[in-house]
Amino acid sequence: MNRFGKAFSFTTFGESHGPAVGCVIDGIPAGLCIDEAFIQSELDRRRPGQNKFATARKEGDKVEILSGVFEGLSTGSPIALVIFNENQKSGDYENVKDLFRPGHADFTYFHKYGIRDYRGGGRSSARETAARVAAGAVAKLLLKALHVEVKSGVCAIGTIEAIQYDFSRVAQSPIYALDASVEKAQEDAIMEAKNTHDSIGGVALVHIVGAPAGLGEPLYYKLDALLAEAMMGINGVKAIEIGEGFHASSLKGSTNNDAITKEGFVSNHSGGILGGISNGDTITCKVYFKPTPSIFIAQQTITKEGEEVECSLKGRHDPCIAVRGSVVAESMAALVVADLLLLNMGSRLEHLQKVYM
Amino acid sequence: MNRFGKAFSFTTFGESHGPAVGCVIDGIPAGLCIDEAFIQSELDRRRPGQNKFATARKEGDKVEILSGVFEGLSTGSPIALVIFNENQKSGDYENVKDLFRPGHADFTYFHKYGIRDYRGGGRSSARETAARVAAGAVAKLLLKALHVEVKSGVCAIGTIEAIQYDFSRVAQSPIYALDASVEKAQEDAIMEAKNTHDSIGGVALVHIVGAPAGLGEPLYYKLDALLAEAMMGINGVKAIEIGEGFHASSLKGSTNNDAITKEGFVSNHSGGILGGISNGDTITCKVYFKPTPSIFIAQQTITKEGEEVECSLKGRHDPCIAVRGSVVAESMAALVVADLLLLNMGSRLEHLQKVYM
Amino acid sequence: MNRFGKAFSFTTFGESHGPAVGCVIDGIPAGLCIDEAFIQSELDRRRPGQNKFATARKEGDKVEILSGVFEGLSTGSPIALVIFNENQKSGDYENVKDLFRPGHADFTYFHKYGIRDYRGGGRSSARETAARVAAGAVAKLLLKALHVEVKSGVCAIGTIEAIQYDFSRVAQSPIYALDASVEKAQEDAIMEAKNTHDSIGGVALVHIVGAPAGLGEPLYYKLDALLAEAMMGINGVKAIEIGEGFHASSLKGSTNNDAITKEGFVSNHSGGILGGISNGDTITCKVYFKPTPSIFIAQQTITKEGEEVECSLKGRHDPCIAVRGSVVAESMAALVVADLLLLNMGSRLEHLQKVYM
Amino acid sequence: MNRFGKAFSFTTFGESHGPAVGCVIDGIPAGLCIDEAFIQSELDRRRPGQNKFATARKEGDKVEILSGVFEGLSTGSPIALVIFNENQKSGDYENVKDLFRPGHADFTYFHKYGIRDYRGGGRSSARETAARVAAGAVAKLLLKALHVEVKSGVCAIGTIEAIQYDFSRVAQSPIYALDASVEKAQEDAIMEAKNTHDSIGGVALVHIVGAPAGLGEPLYYKLDALLAEAMMGINGVKAIEIGEGFHASSLKGSTNNDAITKEGFVSNHSGGILGGISNGDTITCKVYFKPTPSIFIAQQTITKEGEEVECSLKGRHDPCIAVRGSVVAESMAALVVADLLLLNMGSRLEHLQKVYM
């Protein structure tokens, strides 16, 4: 099950230390300008090795388009994108090949499949998220053509939370921070974790602006349910909330309901979604990342044979996956919206009449 | 899109004030004993009108099996379950037929479809969750045959949170409370909301016990992603977390990682899921419900024509949807696990050899 | 797997001698006028017991709409249709409960599921096609609103083949014959088979007129592939051809290619489909039905325990399933086209811009 | 919609004259030995340029595995296979870029998408079938591990039909002929078509041997329906039949039914399928290919602007697509069976108990 989406869908492949990772994107409407430089620029935002807050592992992440584009335009055929792996150091993983790293998928892949590619986590590596970002970039091209925008940033690192959200500054921040007033403290929290051979969790915020009312297919492909699936499926995510989110559970209805006036919704506790369908307001969700499981402090674990051993990791790892994870969350949000835009085309007879008659 | 699941799937139909709600369950292995009384007893747990903490609306919720069962056993053919609606008071909704109730799906259904069944929310009504619970009951029969158990309860009402979780007492509690020490305070919170014509949010906890390691289809049908989709798709849910959840984002990796010994995992911050696959430990998730949007306090809204009006609701509503919602969350969890148990059958060549050779 | 279609889809349920058969249709655009009398009239065309050429078994086939319609219009929610079974004579099947009727699915259901509902074939009964026709009727309502028409008739009974096709006379013919000049001979062939306790095969022709060019989703949801799947899935169908069909394999390219002029295609060997996509011409397919497997001549078979016995059938059966089968083929064609009309909505960026901007 | 299959599925990408064609295969059970040389040998069977009966166009068709294999075994992760295109002569297509070649998909792709990649047919080129054969090779590895075999050969070229079928000689025949007694006449028919700048149709036969009873998911993923979809979706196929097929429509039930004895079925008119489910006998289907639409005789057509012009083709084309098409049909059959083997794993509770308890 390596596919996401129904109408606008993508299938990914590839392992951390195999020849390549990539994706096949299906359902792209014909006639869309496919800007290869933009796709590359999105991958660059996710790419590691850019500063001290991320892993020193350098991945070129050079994307190649193998199909589906003719004279710069999408043809309606699937677009395959491939990123050949470079700079792999499989040797780093020789010492963990027979044991299960705590907090990682080693244990579960082995128990599910009876075999696992131990090199860098194999298929379970966050390396695969490069393919998500590549697919997300194509989704963003479609969204742009329909005047929908997806934005993301980091709102919390450990316990240091943003007070205000300024998406316009994210691109300038090495940790994609939304709030200048806490950025330094957030950076310090990451460096403190890194310097103590530990890691730290964080939270990404995603906003979708300009989406028309009506997106989301009730009752089992709702916009919020699909966002939840999309976000929870990202490596390291343990919680997701829409709008007022988990705080809503402690409120009264009179506080949480958004009153409606001629000008629109007075507040946005709903996060732009009612009954699983977009209401035209900004769609908001927060994505909670656990701390990177790869830490250099010794940990207790067992081998495949069940013997207890100490796990001592080597290699290069992000001290905080929420930072680069925010770009992945943004990409997944774009993919969700692209899918729902296509699905919603059939929601009314008058839409069909507009196209066919 | 009214279907959930891939291998073990169900499709629901029906509106609050139409002739019936129901579901067609597909993918049930043949040879399973279909205990009709058990299905009915599960529906009874969700049924309103049982005490002062829920809506006074009485729904008989008598389930009928239309297909797929022969001499008490599943035949491998789809099981259709139908619950004919009774005790409908469409008249209660005459006064809201032209306006959008705040916090409800009225606005979005109208903007998506250009038409809406205003009687009791129509398709968006929580009435539909009866079909989920009916399908979930069949899933639980399958799980029971494989020694997997799903449990639920209420852990918070408003700001009153359970300190400890005791699933064995839930059936005795009128609000399905997990913690006797706070139950009275939780009941008071609900009654206070009800008496002030308001409503209140709450949180449900779901545990899945006995699931084998290996459930979850990476990378886009992971166990946690699927639980997130399932839970977020329930009426009124605004957030979901797995294991340590939201809190994990504020932790260090050295705290959050679960060490492994010969006896198993030392802790369960992961909520029984690593890399989207079950690890054999108890699977845990929390589901956050917003306060019931239907309140009797006057609210500001607009009509279909965009005119500003005051919204004054009548009818009978739960002051806290988290209570009966916990049963729905439990049902959805069972449906997720049933689906993944079937999908995992093809994960290893040796499984196929066991069955075919 | 009891669902057909992706965007416009339906799920069926029910057995020959269970409480009911029915379907849940999903993906119907909102705003479509749902003409219940038309749905019933389509069912009446398929209904047995109407003349001596069909089984004497009388099925009322009264359809009930359980959901998805409000004030006569589709709401975008699933429409559930149910037909309660009447006139069941389970007793007719007591003598076959332990043996496998030749040509029937008894053997395979038992080997697949380890259990079978022997009453009238259970799930494998052609009784289920009532649900297909009901769903097809709703599809035809959508097609009509877009000026697409689906027609069917019988072109061959046994070796008696129609020379010319006149769809306008089909409704008047008790065997839905397309050609008046051979109708009598075809009727005689059926009666001869019936009177000798045997059965006979036949061929249905389906035409789809007015479908726009562009329907079909290459490369794995092509129009012709989908028609093939739809038709081959009907009880008793053993072959399907599009346009020139199996005859095309004996031709030269210079004969088979359809030349193109300003006025359109000069011939229609392609059957209106090129590369799996409709070309705007009439879409044509022929569907080949085997003779009814239920015959009253004694046959050799075995019991569940493997003991050889003589199979002597009772009950009431169509001597030629192609006649009523033609209505089912027409319904399936309508369902295929409805699905592809919806899917094609996303084929071009300009379609999305027309709807959203 | 570029994916086929549900449990064992594959997604293809690529155009005739783009950088590459390929596929991503999903759902492969872990622990399967992935024999790369075998995959290559399957591609070699489909590869053009091998003798005078096929196009002189040489395609290296060198397959590369990008993912999903570790130490020679499948890991349960998707296997991506890519074949980079070589020997492209786009120049051959300059003269057809503005017109619609008769019998080709040029017309329909243009009308569906508003844009088309005219080089060699782009996505609609039979070049894509290399990806099907690559995926089919992996399916055949799975089938072999479960003792199921798929075989194919050519049974008719134009009007020259095989009298008897000998699969063991197919590999030695340059036209994959099943019958030595007509092979020379079939070769002559191809050469005659080629020498007169024309083309000719043909028929492929596929047998599946050793499949267990029980494959096929009623009622909408039946084995025969799925084979029909798979075969009709191959370039140039216009008809498909199972077992007695077309001929069955002219028979009596007493002739067509297969009697059953302790030793099994006395005859195999059913083609190994009853009620859409395999019965353990050999599964047989015939696939009818139209003559290659690319011929060198001048043809009448129109340009994109609707102007009438003469179409004069250049390039290198197979005079009979049925020959190499038989390999594609065999591959698709393998993919169908692999998918159904996985899906059937959940058909009985006892299968689940075997794996989980």
Summarised one tens digit per residue, pLDDT across range C202-223 is: 999 999 999 999 999 999 999 9
Contact B355 D342 (CB under 8 A): no
Which band of pLDDT confidence, cut at 50, 70 and 90, is reported for residue B88?
Answer: low
B79/B59 Cα distance (integer angstroms) = 22
The answer to whether A233 and B222 are in contact (CB under 8 A) is: yes
Cβ contacts of B7 on chain C, cutoff 8 Å: none
Contact C346 A345 (CB under 8 A): yes
CATH assignment at residue C112: 3.60.150.10
Structure tokens at B131: 């079909």
According to the model, what pLDDT value does residue A96 have?
Answer: 87
**C340 contacts: CB under 8 Å, gap ≥ 6:** C215, C216, C217, C221, C223, C226, C278
Contact D13 A79 (CB under 8 A): yes
Percent of residues, chain B, with pLDDT higher than 90: 89
Contact C349 A27 (CB under 8 A): no
Minimal Cα–Cα distance from A355 to chain D, Å?
12
Contact B270 A103 (CB under 8 A): yes
Which band of pLDDT confidence, cut at 50, 70 and 90, is reported for residue B144?
Answer: very high
Cα radius of gyration rounded to whole Å, chain B:
21
Can you state the angle between helices C349-356 and A321-343, rounded to 10 degrees? 80
Cβ contacts of C193 on chain D, cutoff 8 Å: 252-253
Single-letter amino acid code for the residue at D59: E
What kind and span of H or E run contains B324?
A: helix B321-343
**D97 contacts: CB under 8 Å, gap ≥ 6:** D118
A82/C100 Cα distance (integer angstroms) = 53
For the cut 70, the answer to whether the pLDDT of residue D348 exceeds it is: yes
From the list A123, A246, A301, the residue facing B288 with the nearest CB is: A246
Minimal Cα–Cα distance from B337 to chain D, Å?
13
3-state secondary structure chain D: CCEECCCCEEEEEECCCCCEEEEEEECCCECCECCHHHHHHHHHHHCCCCCCCCCCCCCCCCEEECCCEECCEECCCCEEEEEECCCCCHHHHHHHCCECCCCCCHHHHHHHHCCCCCHHHHHHCHHHHHHHHHHHHHHHHHHHHCCCEEEEEEEEECCEECCCCCHHHHHHCCCCECCHHHHHHHHHHHHHHHHCCCCECEEEEEEEECCCCCCCECCCECHHHHHHHHHHCCCCEEEEEECCHHHHHHCEHHHHCCCEECCEECCCCCCCEECCEECCCCEEEEEEECCCCCCCCCEEEEECCCCEEEECCCCCCCCCHHHHHHHHHHHHHHHHHHHHHHHHHHCEHHHHHHHHC
CA count, 13 A, side-chain hemisphere, A307: 6
The answer to whether D349 and B31 are in contact (CB under 8 A) is: yes
CA distances from A356 to B323, C345, D109, D129 (A): 48, 9, 17, 32
The answer to whether A99 and D16 are in contact (CB under 8 A) is: no
Contact B122 C80 (CB under 8 A): no
Tell me what the mean pLDDT of segment D147-173 comes to: 97
C166/A70 Cα distance (integer angstroms) = 45
How many CB atoms are closer than 10 A to CB D304? 15
Comparing A192-206, D75-89, D270-284, which segment has the lowest mean pLDDT? D75-89
Which band of pLDDT confidence, cut at 50, 70 and 90, is reported for residue B87?
Answer: low
Mutation target among C6, C26, C356, C357 for the A interface, most CBs of A within 10 A: C356
Cβ contacts of A32 on chain C, cutoff 8 Å: 349
Q: Which of D37, D40, D80, D36 is nearest to D59 (CA)?
A: D40
Minimal Cα–Cα distance from A149 to chain C, Å?
14
What kind and span of H or E run contains B311?
A: strand B308-311
Place of tokens 């919602």: B325
At A50-87, the pLDDT tens digits run 788 877 666 678 999 999 999 999 999 999 999 999 86
Cβ contacts of D128 on chain C, cutoff 8 Å: 219
What kind and span of H or E run contains B288?
A: strand B283-289
Place of tokens 């397959």: D63
According to the model, what pLDDT value does residue A89 have?
Answer: 66
DSSP-H helix ranges across A114-259: 129-145, 180-195, 223-232, 253-256
| Angle at CA of residue D54, ends D49 and D60, nearest 5° | 25
Contact D198 C274 (CB under 8 A): no
What kind and span of H or E run contains B113?
A: helix B106-113
Mutation target among B12, B108, B117 for the C interface, most CBs of C within 10 A: B117
Query: Residue A128 belongs to what domain range?
Result: 3-356
Mutation target among A24, A144, A349, A350 for the C interface, most CBs of C within 10 A: A349
Which band of pLDDT confidence, cut at 50, 70 and 90, is reported for residue B314?
Answer: confident
What kind and span of H or E run contains B331?
A: helix B321-343
Percent of residues, chain A, with pLDDT higher than 70: 97
According to the model, what pLDDT value does residue D314 have?
Answer: 81
**Structure ipTM over 0.90, yes or no:** yes
**A288 contacts: CB under 8 Å, gap ≥ 6:** A201, A203, A237, A238, A239, A240, A241, B241, B245, B246, B248, B249
From the list A15, A27, A109, the residue facing D67 with the nearest CB is: A15
The answer to whether C84 and B20 are in contact (CB under 8 A) is: no
Contact B82 C82 (CB under 8 A): yes
B161/B155 Cα distance (integer angstroms) = 6
According to the model, what pLDDT value does residue D87 have?
Answer: 66
A346/C77 Cα distance (integer angstroms) = 12
From the list B156, B218, B245, the residue facing A249 with the nearest CB is: B156
Contact D14 A70 (CB under 8 A): no
Distance in Å from the first CA to the final CA of chain D: 38
Tell me what the mean pLDDT of segment A342-355 comes to: 97
- 3-state SS class at C285: strand
Which residues is C26 bridged to in the sheet? C9
How far does Cα A32 stand from its chain's mean position?
23
From the list C29, C77, C347, the residue facing A346 with the nearest CB is: C29
Which band of pLDDT confidence, cut at 50, 70 and 90, is reported for residue A317?
Answer: confident
According to the model, what pLDDT value does residue C312 have?
Answer: 86
According to the model, what pLDDT value does residue D302 have?
Answer: 97
Contacts of A among chains (3+ CB pairs under 8 A): B, C, D
For the cut 80, the answer to whether the pLDDT of residue A170 exceeds it is: yes
From the list C111, C158, C295, the residue facing D254 with the nearest CB is: C295
Contact C29 A77 (CB under 8 A): no
Which band of pLDDT confidence, cut at 50, 70 and 90, is reported for residue C7?
Answer: very high
For the cut 70, the answer to whether the pLDDT of residue A13 exceeds it is: yes
Contact B225 A240 (CB under 8 A): no
Which band of pLDDT confidence, cut at 50, 70 and 90, is reported for residue C40?
Answer: very high
Contact D228 C240 (CB under 8 A): yes
A249/B158 Cα distance (integer angstroms) = 6
C163/C160 Cα distance (integer angstroms) = 9
Minimal Cα–Cα distance from B222 to chain D, Å?
13
Single-letter amino acid code for the residue at B283: I
According to the model, what pLDDT value does residue C52 have?
Answer: 81
Q: Phi and psi of C241, rounded to 5°?
A: -140, 150
Which band of pLDDT confidence, cut at 50, 70 and 90, is reported for residue A19?
Answer: very high
Which band of pLDDT confidence, cut at 50, 70 and 90, is reported for residue C120?
Answer: confident
Structure tokens at D348: 């009985």
According to the model, what pLDDT value does residue A55 have?
Answer: 74
CA distances from B8 to A6, A212, B64, B158, C78 (A): 18, 33, 20, 35, 20
Tell me what the mean pLDDT of segment D64-91 comes to: 91
Structure tokens at C113: 């599921």
- Comparing alpha-carbon positions, the chain B residue that sits nearest to A332 is B220
Tell me what the mean pLDDT of segment A214-243 comes to: 98
Q: Which of B136, B162, B116 is nearest to B38 (CA)?
A: B136
For the cut 90, the answer to whether the pLDDT of residue D224 exceeds it is: yes
Show the beta-strand stretches assigned E in chain C.
3-4, 9-14, 20-26, 63-65, 69-70, 73-74, 79-84, 149-157, 160-161, 202-209, 237-242, 260-261, 264-265, 273-274, 277-278, 283-289, 299-302, 308-311
At C265-284, the pLDDT tens digits run 999 999 999 999 999 999 99
B113/C308 Cα distance (integer angstroms) = 60
A253/B103 Cα distance (integer angstroms) = 8
Percent of residues, chain B, with pLDDT higher than 70: 98
State whether the Cα torsion D306-D307-D308-D313 is positive or negative: negative
DSSP-derived letter for residue A303 is B
Q: Which of B62, B66, B59 is nearest to B23 (CA)?
A: B66
The answer to whether C64 and C43 are in contact (CB under 8 A) is: no
Mean pLDDT of chain B: 95
Global model pTM greater than 0.90:
yes
For the cut 80, the answer to whether the pLDDT of residue D89 exceeds it is: no
Single-letter amino acid code for the residue at C114: G
From the list C74, C212, C346, the residue facing A356 with the nearest CB is: C212
Single-letter amino acid code for the residue at B252: K
According to the model, what pLDDT value does residue C92 have?
Answer: 72
Place of tokens 């013919």: C173
Structure tokens at A337: 């919206």
According to the model, what pLDDT value does residue D86 have?
Answer: 84
For the cut 90, the answer to whether the pLDDT of residue C126 exceeds it is: yes
According to the model, what pLDDT value does residue D27 have?
Answer: 98
Can you state the angle between helices B321-343 and D349-356, rounded to 10 degrees? 80
Place of tokens 């988290």: B322
Burial class (CB in 10 A: 0-12, 13-18, 19+), A306: exposed
CB pairs under 8 A between A and B: 380
Contact C193 D252 (CB under 8 A): yes
| Angle at CA of residue B155, ends B149 and B161, nearest 5° | 155
Which residues is B22 bridged to in the sheet? B13, B82
| Angle at CA of residue D183, ends D179 and D184, nearest 5° | 155
- Comparing alpha-carbon positions, the chain B residue that sits nearest to A157 is B250
For the cut 80, the answer to whether the pLDDT of residue D137 exceeds it is: yes
Between β-strands D20-26 and D79-84, what pairing exists: parallel, antiparallel or unpaired? antiparallel
According to the model, what pLDDT value does residue B137 have?
Answer: 98
Number of separate domains in chain A: 1
